Structure 1
Amino acid sequence: MEDFDFVVVGSGSGLDVANAAANQGQSVAVVEKGPLGGTCLNRGCIPSKHLLYHADVLETIERAGEFHIDAEVNDVEFAELVRSVNEEVSEDAESIRRGLRSSSQHDLFEGEGRFVDDRTLEIVGGNDEGARLRGETVLIAAGTRPAVPPIDGIESVDYLTSTEALQLETPPEHLVIVGGGYIAAELGHFFGTFGSDVTIVGRRPNLLPDADEGVAAAFTDRYADRFTVHTGHTATAVSDGGDSVTVEAKPYEYGDDGGIVEGADPVTATGDELLVAAGRVPNSDTLNVEATGVETDDRGFVETDEYLRTTADGVWALGDIVGEYLLKHSANHEAQAVARNLFGEELQAVDYEAMPFAVFASPEVAGVGATESDLRADGVEYATRTYPYDKTARGSAMRAEGFVKVLIDLDGEILGCHIVGPEASNLVQEVVVAMKAGSGTVRDIRESVHIHPALSEVVQRAFAGQFTRPDDAHGHDH
């Protein structure tokens, strides 16, 4: 048994807290069963966005004719681009490993950590199998893994999750995707741009169901133009046809009234590859967290208070495994909060105000704050305004499709902003700052000088006109 001042399970954003503990002079142990760096570096944000940028470049070239430029793509070294991205990721992970192994302030335990007693773990598998360690303080930051829904026949077919899809060195001829969220959207864009026929089967009425409904509807329409899209359907069975896989889906009953999408019929989709992109599940079930007194919710996410303390004394948690926001920037934000609470003078609750998200598909989607459905559900009175890209000089020059949608309360406070179109992830950021660091009102955006004719004018103009309340024929200027 080895004793440490601080033990972290997981090597993603939890490493930031481990480093803070080391800087305080504490003895630190890091437990990690896979490559160092966590989901984002190895199986998530970093490799996917590297690959997606390749798709964006190809898409730009293919659109050159719209701008009277004669350009063509003579060859795509698909296997090489995938290999180069994954080799870079592997080297980054190995660099972190070397750094921890050579550190006099950290001890790295490679293997799966499982709690066996109060703040005590045993390492199962890996280079340090059988080792036991105990921490005066323990941080659970072990993330999530791809969810696999209970589809009849799923265990008897070869399928991809996002992990394997990011390493596929040949684009499928026909990729069938089960799931309608951001992973389905991003990987559909990637493989579709590189020549795959893509069919998407999603349960909800629109793709990206967590986005604002207007944005989600516009995004779904655009994807329906590019791909075969079956929304409002749930996969019920899959079967192996040798060199193909077939998905059967039926209309999905959703909502309190059990309604289905109007006109929906059962569908069948056959392709040479199946991608299951049906969300994520927390890794708490692999950690035996109950042995240390940590409670989880009915989905398995670790329960924490507003300071990110778990139900067990001396045990904290952050990142995807707590289920607040499954976003790397949220995990980084939580890591700062945990470090501050552990080593600062007084506890401070985590501030999730103005937490943005982005989907790096084509079109790009981003948002911050409440959606219209959120406001309706909460009974909040609000007004909204939508402004299209192509009514700005830059947007027109780009032949950009999309819009910025703003939601405000009746006093002009910004409640939410949702964007579909080029550079959405960058455009939303000034609204995040306004909501977080400014007064949080329409005036913050409207009265800030925007460069002309930059694309950011579409955000300014979305905030600069008359807002309309739902079912109200009269606009209201704020």
Structure 2
Amino acid sequence: MQEFDFLVIGSGSGLDVANAMAGRENSVAVVEEGPLGGTCLNRGCIPSKKLLYHAEVLETVERADEFGIHADVTGVDFAEIVREVNADVAESSDSIRRGLKSSNRHDLFEGTGEFVDERTVEVVDGADEGATLRADTVLVATGARPSIPDIDGIEDVDYLTSTEALQLETPPDHLVIVGGGYIAAELGHFFGTFGSDVTIVGRREHLLPEADPEVGAAFTDRYADRFDVYAGYEAVAAAEADGEVTVEARPYPESPTVRAGGERIDDPADADDVTVTGDALLVAAGRRPNTDALGLGAAGIETDDRGFVETDEYLRTSAEGVWALGDVVGEYLLKHSANHEAKAVIRNLLGDEPEPVDYAAMPFAVFASPEVAGVGATESDLREADREYATRTYRYEETARGDAMGAEGFVKVLIDLDGEILGCHIIGPEASNLIEEVVVAMTAGSGTVADIRESVHIHPALSEVVDRAFTGQFSRGGDAGRAGGHHHG
């Protein structure tokens, strides 16, 4: 048995904690079964956003005629784009490996880590199979993987998950996507921009069901103009024959409304079952934690009914000396959340007094077209909590820059009756950047409308859409006030 001061299972954001511990002259063991760098680097946000930027460039060129600029795309080297992105990712992963291998404070063990006792891990199924490691402090940071829903016949279909989709060197002629969340939205946009016909089947009333309902509805409308969208439909069966994939779907009874292609049906009971076909199937129906092979019971580490590791507000698990962070804890399945949690674990391991993780202003973004971002409570959250609030919505095209861009979208603000910012939700260009102003106000400022109103905004920058969303008259409750008129200076 090899003894260490600190051991981490997983090499994503957990490496931040490992490096901090090594910097304090602790001996550190890193156990990883796959490429170094975790899901984000190898199979998630890094390759997907690199690829999506190519789609953004192509979409910009294709819109040039709207601005009196006549441009033609004479060719797209799709395979080379994908190869270059994946090569960049592989090099970054290899760089992390080289760094760990050359460190005199880190020991890398390749394989799956399985608990065999308290703070004791055996390495299985890898180059270092059979190694037994024990540490004073252990961190579980094993992430999550695509979840496959219970669809009749799915095991006989050669379907894609996001992992395989990011490596396709030819866009499908017709891609069927099961799932309506951010992965479905982003990959639908990517392949659709590069020529695939896209059909999306999602169980919830709107695509992006975690977004504010008004944003989700607007996003679904835009996607229904681009693609065949079946929202409020549940995929129940799948089959593959002669290069064609068939998915059968029926109205989902828990969805208040159904969208069948371009038609909205207010009562799911009035909607018919549908059958959709394509030459490729992407399953993007959520993620499940990588905890089933960890032997957590042997260490006394408790999980919830979905398999996510349960932690307290400091990210300590039920086992003494064992911590957890990232997707495996299921709080927010976002890389920046995992990085935020890593900072908290570092403070709590190396500081004098533990501090709870603050999730109060955790933003999200969807790099689709249109782009979507949000932070804080949604309007449905506030209604469910029976909380008094006021709201205001301001449209991009009512600013000089938004009008010049031909932009569609809006900023929606939710505040309490004393002016505290409860949430902000954006759909439109640069949403992922615009939301940061609100995140900073909620985190580092007073967290009130005054933080935005009293800050000078560059005219006529796109950030004026945020400024004006916070500046006008708010409406109580669900009666969202739409700002009117153009305000060009």
TM-score scaled to structure 1, two decimals?
0.98
Q: CA deviation at 1:263?
A: 3.8
Q: CA deviation at 1:101?
A: 1.1
Equivalent position to 1:332, from 331, 336, 339: 339
Structure-1 residue corresponding to 2:396: 389
**Contact 2:246–2:275 (8 Å) recurs in 1:** yes
Structure-2 residue corresponding to 1:99: 99
Q: Deviations over 1:50-85 (max 9, x none)?
A: 000000000000000000001010000000000000
Structure-1 residue corresponding to 2:147: 147
Q: Secondary structure at the match of 1:123?
A: strand
| 1:315 and 2:327 aligned | no
**Contact 1:232–1:260 (8 Å) recurs in 2:** no
Structure-2 residue corresponding to 1:206: 206
**Contact 1:6–1:26 (8 Å) recurs in 2:** yes
Structure-2 residue corresponding to 1:240: 240
For residues 348 and 94 of structure 1, the distance between their equivalents in structure 2, rounded to whole angstroms, comes to 34
| 1:451 and 2:476 aligned | no
For residues 336 and 230 of structure 1, the distance between their equivalents in structure 2, rounded to whole angstroms, comes to 41
Q: CA deviation at 1:256?
A: 10
For residues 256 and 74 of structure 1, the distance between their equivalents in structure 2, rounded to whole angstroms, comes to 45
Structure-2 residue corresponding to 1:372: 379
* Match runs of 1:90-239 below 5 Å: 90-239=90-239
For residues 303 and 322 of structure 2, the distance between their equivalents in structure 1, rounded to whole angstroms, comes to 13
| 1:464 and 2:467 aligned | no
Give every structure 1 segment of 4 or more consecutive aligned residues whose post-TM-superposition deviation is greater than 4 Å. Answer: 471-476
Gaps of 5+ in 2: 258-265, 484-489
| 1:404 and 2:414 aligned | no
CA RMSD in angstroms, aligned pairs only = 1.7
Closer, same or farther: CA 472–177 of 1 in aligned 2, 3 Å = closer
Q: Deviations over 1:338-384 (max 9, x none)?
A: 01100111111111111000000000000000000000011100111
For residues 162 and 398 of structure 1, the distance between their equivalents in structure 2, rounded to whole angstroms, comes to 32
Q: CA deviation at 1:262?
A: 6.4
Structure-1 residue corresponding to 2:439: 432
Q: CA deviation at 1:261?
A: 3.5
Equivalent position to 2:294, from 287, 295, 314: 287
Closer, same or farther: CA 41–473 of 1 in aligned 2, 3 Å = closer
Closer, same or farther: CA 425–261 of 1 in aligned 2, 3 Å = farther
Closer, same or farther: CA 471–85 of 1 in aligned 2, 3 Å = closer
Closer, same or farther: CA 255–61 of 1 in aligned 2, 3 Å = closer
Q: Deviations over 1:166-199 (max 9, x none)?
A: 0000000000000000000000000000000000
**Contact 2:244–2:277 (8 Å) recurs in 1:** yes
**Contact 1:141–1:317 (8 Å) recurs in 2:** yes
Structure-1 residue corresponding to 2:14: 14
Gaps of 5+ in 1: none
Closer, same or farther: CA 325–104 of 1 in aligned 2, 3 Å = same
Q: Deviations over 1:246-269 (max 9, x none)?
A: 000011121699x96464221111
Closer, same or farther: CA 475–218 of 1 in aligned 2, 3 Å = closer
% of aligned pairs identical?
A: 74
| 1:414 and 2:424 aligned | no
Q: CA deviation at 1:242?
A: 2.1
For residues 10 and 77 of structure 2, the distance between their equivalents in structure 1, rounded to whole angstroms, comes to 35
Q: Secondary structure at the match of 1:284?
A: coil
Q: Secondary structure at the match of 2:70?
A: coil
Q: CA deviation at 1:446?
A: 1.1
**Contact 2:375–2:423 (8 Å) recurs in 1:** yes
Q: CA deviation at 1:474?
A: 9.2
